[in-house]
Amino acid sequence: MSANPAKPRLNSPQDDLAFMRSIVEGGGRPPMTLAVCYLAGGLLYGLQCLFHVGQVIGLIRWPDLANLAFVVMITVSFLAVLTWAILRDRKDGSANRGPMASRGLNAAFSATGMANTAVIIVFGVGAYRDQDFAIWLYYAAIVFALQAAAWYMAWTLKKKGWMLATALGGWVTAVALGLLVREPVWYLGVCTVALFALFALPGWILFRDARAGPKAA
């Protein structure tokens, strides 16, 4: 046994600089689950909002059972795609890899998802108790506000212009929806545009980066 045990390696200034740069600039690829949540959610629920717009203005007049089947199909399709993405991430182990900025970004969106679940329960129970559907409609406004906060945090970590634009768009959408809960056509119109522009489009960017590899994000 050597009398002089090896000393632990000390980081060089170049190593410290590279570490700090990885925190500020990010790197690593986003998890497929996050990308699919936004892309599939924006497309599917944007389509559902378009369907409801058609109902409100009289273009779509389906039987009640057909309407219910369509809405259920949207949710089932989203859950199926989401399950595929979760299984792929687990197989790749990508959710636990990558620089600190990417992991911080993933944590921010996971926390936002937890908050969204609480909001669903609060507004859903309140609307049922008071028998006022408008209370439930405030839920979407809160969701977009929470998403705006998450995207703003993403922008502070990654400094990508499209992330800041998404954050600002989410804030504007949240305010607009909160003011339009008694105007169903306008409310659905804003929701439709926002789902495609602030969920599906960012989701496509994340999906592209997730498929491209570690250097894309």
- Mean pLDDT along residues 16-20: 42
What's the pLDDT at 113? 62
Residues 109-130 have pLDDT tens digits of 666 666 767 777 877 787 778 7
Q: pLDDT higher for 84 or 216?
A: 84
Domain range list for the chain: 30-211
Confidence label for 22 from pLDDT (cuts 50, 70 and 90) = very low
Q: Which residues are CB-neighbours of 106 under 8 A, at least 6 positions away? A: 30, 31, 34, 95
Q: Is the pTM of this model over 0.75?
A: no
Q: Are 101 and 23 in contact (CB under 8 A)?
A: yes
* Residue 108 banded pLDDT, cuts 50, 70, 90: low
DSSP letter for 3, please.
S
- Tens digit of pLDDT for each residue in 64-106? 899 999 999 998 998 898 888 878 777 766 544 444 445 555 5
Please say if the pLDDT value at position 177 is more than 80. Answer: yes
Q: Check: CB of residue 141 under 8 Å from CB of residue 178.
A: yes
pLDDT tens digits along 35-51: 888 999 999 999 999 99
* Angle at alpha carbon of residue 47, lines to 166 and 110, rounded to 5°: 45
Q: Which residue is listed with tokens 């170049």?
A: 14
Residue 33 has pLDDT above 90, yes or no: no
Could you give the percent of the chain with pLDDT greater than 70?
72
Q: From residue 102, how far is each of 24, 26, 37, 39, 79 by CA, in Å?
A: 10, 6, 17, 19, 24
Cα–Cα dist 29/103, whole Å: 10
Predicted local confidence at residue 51, as pLDDT: 94
